[in-house]
């Protein structure tokens, strides 16, 4: 029994952390599942609860829970693993999916926290850098865009959960998304406003953090493209795509290219 358990654990570890073609495809499948589940959450957020929607939530919760258990089982230090923010995000998402039939539609907004999982995986980032040239050349811009979208979805969920129905004009997910985007961009049309102290503090947080993420995206888009390659001499991580020597220490680089 112990041998069988060890063998199963080894096979799962190879899928999550290995470098084989099968492991890479498995991690891409996880990425696709995350992306599709997020699109599903976005598409169904404005819809009323129905038996089919609850059933889909239960299925997604089961798959996320299976992934959570596998990651926890593989962790060398499980206590440290449980202290990571993305682990708590998964727990919140699982709880929100299971609680919706009992707690109401407002809790469904927390499902969008699953977006925090996108790209924030060392092994997946390594796979994307190796296999996708566009990602390799524009990694900073892509990651900055994902971080901004994740922030918008997360704050929309919090606005709806904390202030939905308590502020004038803030009733649905679309209202919360509209308020979040207009606040982040400092447009502020004034048709939805926060009248309480808690709501105004939430709006301030959206503006302060959101503007910083937006400026980070603009900076990543308009800065010259760099590739991520660690110099063995000084540790500099980013270089020009056609760099032969490190600009910092002059050491020769061996950056992989597709050729002319």
* Class for the domain spanning 132-225: mainly alpha
pLDDT at 7 over 70: yes
Instruction: Give the highest mean pLDDT range of 9-23, 43-57, 117-131.
Output: 9-23
DSSP labels, 198-219: HHHHHHHHHHHHHHHHHHHHHH
Place of tokens 């680089």: 253
Ranges of each domain in the chain: 1-128, 132-225, 226-260
Reported as a single tens digit per residue, the pLDDT across 20-45 is: 888 888 888 888 888 888 788 777 77
- The share of the chain scoring above pLDDT 70, in percent, equals 87
Longest dimension (CA), the chain: 65
Reported as a single tens digit per residue, the pLDDT across 54-96 is: 888 889 889 889 988 988 888 888 888 888 877 887 888 888 7
Residues 6+ apart with CB under 8 A from 52: none
Spatial distance between the Cα atoms of 195 and 192, rounded to a whole number of angstroms: 10
Stretch 134-146: mean pLDDT, rounded? 81
Spatial distance between the Cα atoms of 152 and 146, rounded to a whole number of angstroms: 10
pLDDT band, very low/low/confident/very high, at 260 (cuts 50, 70, 90): very low
Neighbours of 172 (CB within 10 A): 15
Spatial distance between the Cα atoms of 19 and 237, rounded to a whole number of angstroms: 22
Q: In terms of pTM, does the model score above 0.75?
A: no
DSSP collapsed to 3 states, 147-197:
HHHHHHHHHHHHHHHHHCCCCCCCCCHHHHHHHHHHHHCCCCCCCCCCCCH
Polymer length in residues for the chain: 260
């Amino acid at each position: 029994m112990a041998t069988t358990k060890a063998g199963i654990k080894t096979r799962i570890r190879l899928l999550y952390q290995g470098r084989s073609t099968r492991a890479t495809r498995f991690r891409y499948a996880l990425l696709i599942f995350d992306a599709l589940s997020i699109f599903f959450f976005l598409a169904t957020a404005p819809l009323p609860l129905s038996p089919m929607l609850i059933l889909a939530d239960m299925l997604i919760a089961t798959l996320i829970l299976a992934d959570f258990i596998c990651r926890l089982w593989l962790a060398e230090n499980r206590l440290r693993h449980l202290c990571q923010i993305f682990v708590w995000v998964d727990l919140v998402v699982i709880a929100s999916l299971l609680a919706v039939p009992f707690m109401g539609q407002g809790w469904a907004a927390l499902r969008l926290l699953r977006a925090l999982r996108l790209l924030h995986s060392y092994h997946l980032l390594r796979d994307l850098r190796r296999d996708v040239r566009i990602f390799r050349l524009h990694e900073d811009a892509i990651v900055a865009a994902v971080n901004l979208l994740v922030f918008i979805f997360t704050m929309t969920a919090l606005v709806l959960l904390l202030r939905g129905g308590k502020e004038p004009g803030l009733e649905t997910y679309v209202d919360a998304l509209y308020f979040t985007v207009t606040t982040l961009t400092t447009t502020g049309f004034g048709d939805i406003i926060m009248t309480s102290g808690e709501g105004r503090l939430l709006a301030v947080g959206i503006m302060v953090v959101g503007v910083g993420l937006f400026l980070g995206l603009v900076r990543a888009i308009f800065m010259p493209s760099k590739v991520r390659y660690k110099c063995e001499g000084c540790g500099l991580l980013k270089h020009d795509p056609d760099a032969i020597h490190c600009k910092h220490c002059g050491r020769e680089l061996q950056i992989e290219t597709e050729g002319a």
